[in-house]
Amino acid sequence: MKLGIKARVEDAALVERRRRQIVAAAIALFGKRGYHASTIRDIAAQAGVSVGLIYQYFGDKEDVLFLAIVDVLDSYRKRIPLVTADIDDPLERLRAAVHAYCSVIDANVDATVLAYRETKSLRKARRNVIKQKEADTNALLARYVEDCIAAGLFDKRLDVALFVYQIVMFTHAWALKAWHFRPRMSVDEYVARGLDLMLNPVLAVSRPRRPVSAWRRTRGKRARSP
C-alpha cells in the first residue's frame, strides 16, 4: 500500500535508515511534549540532524506521525505469520499469535500509546489507512480463531469479531497500562495469564483447560528446540 510520503533522496536504503532515525526521535519527543506542541525543529534537535535534512525525507510533521503509526501496524502483519508458520495445532497457533502481537507492542510501547493519542490528528484518508491496517491484522487473528472453531476446540457459537477485539484490547493494555503491569510481571506472563482468562471460557467441553504454567513449559521447550 502506497503511503504518499515523498522523499527527495533516491537511495531507498538511505531513505529507510534516515526515516527510522527521525521517526524514533519523533516518537520519543511526542511522548514527552505531545504531537501538537512539537515542531519539525524540535524533531531535528531530538534526532541530531538539521531541519533541512528532515525535509529531504518527509513533507511535514504529519508524515512523521503517520509513518510512526504505520510501522507498528505493519510489524504485526510481519511478525505474527513468522511465529505461527510451523505450528499445526490451531489453539497453540492462536496462543503464539497473541504472544507475537504483544511482543511487538512491548518493543513499541511509546508508538502504541502515540497511536491511541494522535491517530485523530491525521487527515481522514490517512485515518482510513490506519483502520484498514488494523482490520487486516484482525482478520489474521480471526482466521486463527475460526480454525479453533472448525477443529472443535472452541464453542461454535463464539462471536469471532467480538472475541478478536477482546484480544486486541488486551494486548494494547500492555502499553496503555505499562506503569501498572511492567513492574509486576514479564510480557510473556502477562499474555499467558490473559490467555487463560480469555480462552478457558470459550473452549469446547472436550478440550482440557490448561493453566499458565503449562503454557510456560511448552513455550520453553519450543525455544530450546534446535
* CA 96 – CA 112 distance, rounded (Å): 20
Mean pLDDT confidence for 137-146: 97
Average pLDDT taken over every residue of the chain: 90
CATH topology of domain 1-59: Arc Repressor Mutant, subunit A (1.10.10)
Q: Is the pTM of this model over 0.75?
A: yes
Per-residue pLDDT at 205:
65
What would the pLDDT profile of 114-133 be if each residue is shown by its tens digit? 999 999 999 999 999 999 99
Position 204 scores a pLDDT of 85
Among residues 100, 108, 102, the alpha carbon closest in space to that of 67 is found at 108
Q: Evaluate whether 105 touches 159 at the Cβ level (below 8 Å).
A: no
Say which CATH architecture domain 68-224 belongs to: Orthogonal Bundle (1.10)
Q: What is the pLDDT of residue 213?
A: 46
In the predicted model, is pLDDT for residue 209 greater than 70? Answer: no
Provide the residue ranges of all domains of the chain, joining segments of one domain with +.
1-59, 68-224
pLDDT score recorded for residue 226: 44
Tell me how far apart the alpha carbons of residues 16 and 8 are, in angstroms, rounded to a whole number.
13
